[in-house]
Amino acid sequence: MAKIIDGKAVSGQIRDEVKEKIEALRREGKEVTLAVVQVGSDPASCVYVNNKKKACAYVGIKSLAYELPEETTEEELLALIDKLNRMEECNGILVQLPLPVHIDEDKVIDAISPDKDVDGFHQSNTGALCIGRPGFLPCTPAGIVELLRRSGVELAGRNCVVVGRSNIVGKPVALLLLRENATVTIAHSKTENLKALCRQADILVVAVGKPKMINREYIKEGAVVVDVGIHRNEAGKLCGDVDFADVEERCSAITPVPGGVGPMTIAMLMKNCMLAVCGKGREAGR
- Catalytic residue list: 52, 96, 119
- Residues in region 133-152 near ligand NDP by CB under 6 A: 140
For position 262 contacting ligand NDP by CB under 6 A, the verdict is yes
From the list 153-161, 225-233, 268-276, 277-285, the region that binds ligand NDP by CB under 6 A is 225-233
Q: What is the DSSP letter of 192?
A: S
Burial of 54 (0-12, 13-18, 19+ CB in 10 A): exposed
Beta carbon of residue 66, minimum distance to ligand NDP (angstroms, whole number): 22
**Rounded to whole angstroms, how far apart are CA atoms 247 and 7?**
18
From the list 90-98, 218-226, 245-253, 261-269, the region that binds ligand NDP by CB under 6 A is 261-269
**Rounded to whole angstroms, how far apart are CA atoms 194 and 172?**
20
Task: Residue 36: name the closest of 76, 73, 91 by CA.
Answer: 91
Closer to ligand NDP at the Cβ: 84 or 144?
Answer: 144
Among positions 60, 135, 141, 170, the unique one binding ligand NDP when judged by CB under 6 A: 170
Task: Residue 213: name the closest of 246, 259, 166 by CA.
Answer: 246
Closer to ligand NDP at the Cβ: 51 or 252?
Answer: 51
For position 230 contacting ligand NDP by CB under 6 A, the verdict is yes
- Bridge partners (DSSP) of residue 285 are none
Q: HSE on the CB side for 73, CA within 13 Å?
A: 3
Among positions 12, 210, 216, 238, the unique one binding ligand NDP when judged by CB under 6 A: 210
Q: Name the residues that contact ligand NDP, by CB under 6 A.
A: 140, 163-166, 168-170, 187-191, 194, 207-210, 228-230, 241, 261-262, 265
